[in-house]
Amino acid sequence: MRSAEPSGTTDHRLVRRVLDGDVGAFPELVRRHDERLRALAYKLLAGDRDRMDDVMQDAYVRAYRSLDRFRADAELGTWLYRIVYNACIDELRRSRRRPEPVDASVWDRPTGGSGPEGAASAADAVLRALAALPEDQRVTVVLVDGEGFDHHQAAEILGVAPGTVASRLSRARSTMRRTLDDGREEER
């Protein structure tokens, strides 16, 4: 039976337990958020599972070490997203290369085509268009369109104003639309 207590409250209690010395509570925090955090890292790192695993390990170490700085007035999930986002950006900067799409399942939104081949081709085109965006626009698209965050939540994760999220998203969508349209015309 599921508790009627909101997950944020439970997260806050687990944080308190970790800070009080119960190191066994930290894996529970990780378990609660791991799937969505890994999805973010996977998309930001363009489907490179090895890099994703390294980044996630680094992010969880960072989270554990800085848990005492977590503000109880914030959502733990958003705070963890910010840590994973920063770890991904650090990895991308270290590698000094643009991520290349390696797995079409990174972006689960085929845009059309007929049959499985058309869907796979469309998904691959979306991945290429996404990978070609500047880093700040790409991560904004992943957070809002891929992960379903609203502008305010994405702004908190990115450390920018909600208006900045809106403008980055607008520019990114416009660029992707042009890129995808150009690709369709080349196929004709």
Q: pLDDT tens across 118-139, in order?
A: 555 677 777 788 878 888 898 8
In the chain, the amino acid numbered 74 is: A
Whose structure tokens read 């944080």? Answer: 15
pLDDT tens column, 25-81: 999 999 999 999 998 898 888 778 899 999 999 999 999 999 999 887 778 888 999
Helix H or strand E segment including 5: none
Domains of the chain (ranges, CATH numbers): 1-100 (1.10.1740.10), 103-188 (1.10.10.10)
Packing angle between helix 162-187 and helix 151-158, nearest 10 degrees?
Answer: 100
pTM for this one? 0.68
State the pLDDT at residue 4. Answer: 41
pLDDT at 111: 45
The pLDDT of residue 172 = 92
Mean pLDDT, residues 169-177: 91
pLDDT given for residue 75 in this prediction: 86
